[in-house]
Structure 1
Amino acid sequence: MRHDFDRIAPDVYVARGCRLDAVGRAEAAVHWSKGAGVIVGLSAAAMHGSRWLDAELPAEIAIPTYRRPPAWISTRQARISRDECCDIDGYLVTSPARTAFDLARRLPRKDAVPVLDALCRATNLAPSEVLSFAAAHAGERGCAQVRSVLPLVDPGAESPPESQTRMLIVENGLPAPTTQIVVRNADGAFLARLDMGWKKWCVAVEYDGAHHWTDPAQRAKDIDRAAVLAEHGWQVIRTGANLLYTRPHILLDRIESALSARGAFLNI
């Protein structure tokens, strides 16, 4: 054992040099608890297949009685009803609805929405199911925050920056965009799938990762795609990390101008 494994907690070992991801940390935490722990929070989201989670965050488990955990485990003393849990590969994990409920009431809204977008996308969980769960747990702490966060959740987001772009739009009073819009020509042939936008006014917003700006082949594809969309009446506003995080007012101005030019505010 000493030669081939590293001890990470009492009676818990990993292969020497192994770097645990979020799922591995969660599973190791249950072993540390002698099987008494239920995987909760962000660790539960990881177990359910959510992407974009920080593997370096402490594993989160609920245990019935307090035990002092290692530094890489965060414990919560709680007994979680069995009907609010599910089994994943032999580990007890809070159900998607319970996981979403816990995250929505615990995390700041700006952090909660991207995580919940990813969880709902990974599990096919509808935000309405989480609201129903919250209604059944109305006396629990944080329910008011759940009710304010869940209307912002959209499983169509494919990355945290897409979630944050959508939040920026909605929280600044613009109409909520639809995600993953499929554009077809008059014959029904597929032309493009857009990150988010307003089909009624043929305005879209696309978040482009770094490779869209630095990869010449991708850049050429983007130029051709933009030309095809323009020919079919679409105005596409593109954004990246710099615009979204350091100059959001410019992005908002561009979106508002495009919507206004297409008549989005005529009846307001």
Structure 2
Amino acid sequence: MTEVFLGREALGDGLSRHDLQRWYRRMYRGVYIPKYATPSLGDRAIGAWLTTNRTGVIAGVAASALHGAQWVDDDEPIEVLVDERRRQPGLSPRMDRHSADEVVMVEDLPVTTPSRTAFDMGRYLKRAAALARLDALMRAAPFAPERVEMLMHKYGPVRGVRQLRDLLPLIDAGSESPKESWLRLLLIDGGLPAPETQIPVLDGGVPIAYLDMGYRDIQLAIEYDGDQHRSDRRQYVRDIRRLPAVERLGWEVIRVIAEDRPAEVLWRVKEAYRRRGGAEIDEMRRSTRTFAA
């Protein structure tokens, strides 16, 4: 872990101002790190807390990462609950109300609980990004949706609560990446039933594959081929080899890549869903809430 400290405290402990300027650089107002260090998100969270004179609470996406959620970059802006809003680069202060039972200590830092973290992310982030973050948090640090509903009742009609209420029933820890969450939301917004995630495919009672998402009753699967297939050749080969075995067992697999247009993806899935005898669905709308017409 990178050394992170308050400059005034270091000067009080005997560090000269010359050495402070020579060997360290400022991370936030009054907070310093070694000049050539590359801070992690955890380091930056410590710095954000220090710049509030140790009175703030780490919240939002940074809090989800401290709880173990994946897909959070080290340069993600740090959200912190404070009594006085003083903006600075890399820091997102929020003067939101909170109570002591919504804060836990994580690595010696005050951090919002998983349910309070979900309450904040589901309100402040854009809809698709919010669901992806909520899925990742549920996977890393499971929380009860009922606890989030209690916070919604406690704080009333605050910013973004309508979006949060809409997303809460859709959270699924089975989504293994933000793009899988996005794809699932695309299907739901397009009028399809919520797909099941991480579907086991059995051959003679032995699982031979776990499908990203799909509809078990009509044996229709939707797989998102992400960047890991370019970076992890071994995993890519495994995935390619398992698909024929899955298809021999009667499954139809629709593969989606980043370059596919959302409307085309939705059309392909709906066509297969109808063809394979899925329940009645609404006609595809000109646009959904996850992509423009």
Q: TM-score, length-normalised on structure 2?
A: 0.81
Q: Does 1:59 align with 2:78?
A: yes
Q: Distance in 2 between matches of 1:120 and 1:42?
A: 13
Corresponding letter in the other structure for 1:74:
S
Q: Deviations over 1:83-118 (max 9, x none)?
A: 111011111111111111111122221221111111
Instruction: State the 1:9 CA deviation.
Output: 3.4
Instruction: Say which SS state the counterpart of residue 241 (structure 1) adopts.
Output: coil
The separation in 1 between residues aligned to 2:219 and 2:210, in whole angstroms, is 13
Q: Residues 153-197 of structure 1: CA distance to partner in whole angstroms, max 9, x if unpaired?
A: 2111111100010011000001110111111113x1111011101
How do 1:1-268 residues align onto structure 2 when only pairs under 5 Å count?
A: 1-66=20-85, 68-186=86-204, 188-212=205-229, 218-243=235-260, 247-265=261-279
The 8 Å contact of residues 192 and 281 in structure 2, kept in 1 or not, is answered as no
How many matched pairs? 263
CA RMSD for the aligned pairs? 2.3
Aligned partners of 2:84 and 2:76: how far apart in 1? 22
**What secondary structure does 1:117 align onto?**
helix
Shift in CA distance, 89/108, structure 1 to aligned 2, threshold 3 Å? same
Q: Which amino acid aligns with 2:103?
A: C
CA 1:219–1:98: 2 relative to 1, 3 Å = closer
SS in structure 1 at match of 2:259: helix
Deviation at 1:139, TM superposition (A): 4.6
CA gap of 1:20–1:140, structure 2 versus 1, over 3 A, is same
Distance 1:215 1:99, change over 3 A: closer
Identity %: 38
Instruction: Note closer, same or farther for the CA distance 1:219–1:57 as it changes in structure 2 (3 Å cut).
Output: closer
Alignment partner of 2:39: what SS?
A: coil
Moved more, 130-139 or 46-55: 130-139
> Which structure 2 segments of 5+ residues have no match?
1-19, 283-293
136-145 or 232-241, which deviates more: 136-145
Q: TM-score, normalised by structure 1?
A: 0.88
For residues 21 and 165 of structure 2, what CA distance do their matches in structure 1 show? 50
State whether residues 120 and 127 of structure 1, in contact with CA within 8 Å, keep that contact through their aligned partners in structure 2. no
Moved more, 22-31 or 129-138: 129-138
> Is contact 2:211–2:223 with CA below 8 Å preserved after alignment?
yes
- CA change 1:250–1:77 in 2 (3 A) is closer
In structure 2, do the counterparts of structure 1 residues 98 and 220 end up closer, same or farther at CA, with 3 Å as the change threshold? closer
Kindly indicate whether the alpha-carbon contact (under 8 Å) linking 1:210 and 1:240 is maintained by their aligned counterparts in 2: no
Q: Deviations over 1:216-253 (max 9, x none)?
A: 6555433321110011111111011011xxx1222112
